Amino acid sequence: MPTCRVCRGNFTQDQFISGNGPRYLVCANCGVEQGMVTPDEVPQLYDDAIMRARFTAVARRHSLWFWLIIGWSLWVFLFNGTPLWGNASLVVLILATLFTPVRFFLKGPSHRAEMRRLTP
């Protein structure tokens, strides 16, 4: 994957502006920030609303994994030694551990559809 000369980010070829000289291998975001192109010339540039919506979609998809790691960490450090809360939280964590991968893979097509909808 090509690397942007300005921000050093790796992007696919369609995220770069076309041109030679100073515009060669410059991503669309850096091209707009540097004044090389106008926002109307780069259709692949995301506005702030689309960027927030895409970030929210990705955060919703991966949040279960985050909470699962937090839950297991809390159980190991806090609830492991307590008899009632330790056993109850262990059962909940085991069920969540079994449920999370299934939900992750079943929601994959709808996530891809939402990301495709949010792509300009």
Clarify whether residues 25 and 53 are in a common domain: no
Q: What is the pLDDT of residue 46?
A: 67
Q: Model confidence at 120, in pLDDT bands (50, 70, 90)? A: low
Query: Is it the case that residue 83 has pLDDT exceeding 70?
Result: yes
Q: Are 42 and 17 in contact (CB under 8 A)?
A: yes
Clarify whether residues 91 and 105 are in a common domain: yes
Percent of the chain having pLDDT more than 70? 96
Clarify whether residues 111 and 67 are in a common domain: yes
Domain that holds residue 21: 1-45
Greatest CA span in the chain, whole angstroms? 69
Clarify whether residues 85 and 97 are in a common domain: yes
Q: Model confidence at 82, in pLDDT bands (50, 70, 90)? A: confident
Q: Are 10 and 2 in contact (CB under 8 A)?
A: yes
**Residue after which a domain boundary falls, among 14, 29, 45:** 45
Residue 104 Cα distances to 49, 68, 79, 112, angstroms: 25, 13, 27, 12
Nearest to 59 by CA among 111, 120, 98, 118: 111
Q: Which residues contact 8 (CB under 8 A, 6 or more apart)?
A: none
